[in-house]
Amino acid sequence: METGQPNPRPPENVKSGAADAQPTGETNGGATAPKIVAPPPGAPPPQPAADERVRTLSTFHRVMGRPESASIAGAVLVFVVFALAASDSGMFALDGVINWATVSAYLGIVATGACLLMIAGEFDLSLGSMIGFTGMMAAIPPLFYGVPVWAAMLAALACALLIGWVNGQLVVRTGLPSFIVTLGFLFILRGLTLALSIIFANRTIVSGIGDLAA
């Protein structure tokens, strides 16, 4: 056997597997990644496949799912019930609407402030006693000291703002629940209202402010 001779060339009809494989994409660890073909210019982007687990809600369900929808529906239901039950009493006549709307306006103003507190996660139990106390503060100066009604009303409003500020400061500074702080002011304001009415009018009702304001 002769040594140092070059190896004979393989037959031309024998080809390696590496030469036959045509790459179709980039390889990562021996795996061939598929090519991502970009959409032609101007074509809309491909839409993702819809998930069968996701339920599509109708407009009615979306509207009724909002928190304020229940309160609006309740208010409408109340009006419908009273319209059917008291249709012959004149409640929805012009004079009747003026009567109950006037009373509701007072409560609506107070309810607006209470709703703002409830949205913030707080509550003011002294609202009712505050109404009586500020009313007393607005009635006593004109009736017993001759102060103009408008000045007494401004003083009563300033007094209410001051008490509200004190309530807020106590809640923020001390960290006590607003329920406890305003409950204490409920009893304080109620006691002051009774004391002022008995001291000045010798009874629990102070009347006559309407005649002065007319």
Verify that 98 and 160 share a domain, yes or no.
Answer: no
Phi first, then psi, for residue 31 (nearest 5°) are: -90, 145
Return the pLDDT at 16.
46
Verify that 102 and 135 share a domain, yes or no.
Answer: no
- pTM value is 0.59
| Residue 58 included in any domain | no
Kindly report the CA angle at 129 between 193 and 98, in degrees rounded to 5? 110
Verify that 150 and 85 share a domain, yes or no.
Answer: no
| Residue 187 included in any domain | yes
pLDDT tens readout for residues 43-54 = 777 666 666 666
Give the pLDDT band (50/70/90) at residue 159.
very high
| Residue 29 included in any domain | no
Between 38 and 114, the higher pLDDT residue: 114
| Residue 139 included in any domain | yes
The pair of three-digit structure tokens given for residue 81, joined into one six-digit string: 């019930």
- Cβ atoms of 167 and 182 within 8 Å: the answer is yes
pLDDT tens readout for residues 111-131 = 888 888 888 888 899 998 999
Q: Is the pLDDT of residue 138 over 80?
A: yes
pLDDT tens readout for residues 70-100 = 888 888 998 899 888 887 888 888 888 899 8
Verify that 89 and 104 share a domain, yes or no.
Answer: yes
| Residue 15 included in any domain | no
Residues 123, 177: Cα–Cα separation, whole Å: 9
The pair of three-digit structure tokens given for residue 55, joined into one six-digit string: 């339920």
Verify that 170 and 196 share a domain, yes or no.
Answer: yes
Verify that 78 and 149 share a domain, yes or no.
Answer: no
Long-range own/partner contacts, residues 170-177 (CB < 8 A, 24 or more apart): 171/122
| % of residues, the chain, pLDDT over 90 | 36
Q: Is the pLDDT of residue 5 over 90?
A: no
Average pLDDT, the chain: 80
Angle of helix 178-201 versus helix 149-174 axis, rounded to 10? 150
| Residue 30 included in any domain | no
- Domain-terminating residue out of 121, 140, 168: 121
Verify that 105 and 136 share a domain, yes or no.
Answer: no
Q: Is the pLDDT of residue 22 over 90?
A: no
Give the pLDDT band (50/70/90) at residue 176.
very high
Phi first, then psi, for residue 102 (nearest 5°) are: -65, -45
Verify that 149 and 172 share a domain, yes or no.
Answer: yes
Verify that 205 and 180 share a domain, yes or no.
Answer: yes
| Residue 167 included in any domain | yes
Verify that 130 and 181 share a domain, yes or no.
Answer: yes
Residues 104, 153: Cα–Cα separation, whole Å: 21
Verify that 134 and 191 share a domain, yes or no.
Answer: yes
Return the pLDDT at 49.
63
| 97 contacts: CB under 8 Å, gap ≥ 6 | 91
| Residue 141 included in any domain | yes
Number of domains the chain is built from: 2
Residue 31 pairs with which residues in a beta bridge? 28
Kindly report the CA angle at 133 between 160 and 206, in degrees rounded to 5? 140
Residue range of the domain that includes 94: 66-121
Give the pLDDT band (50/70/90) at residue 212.
confident
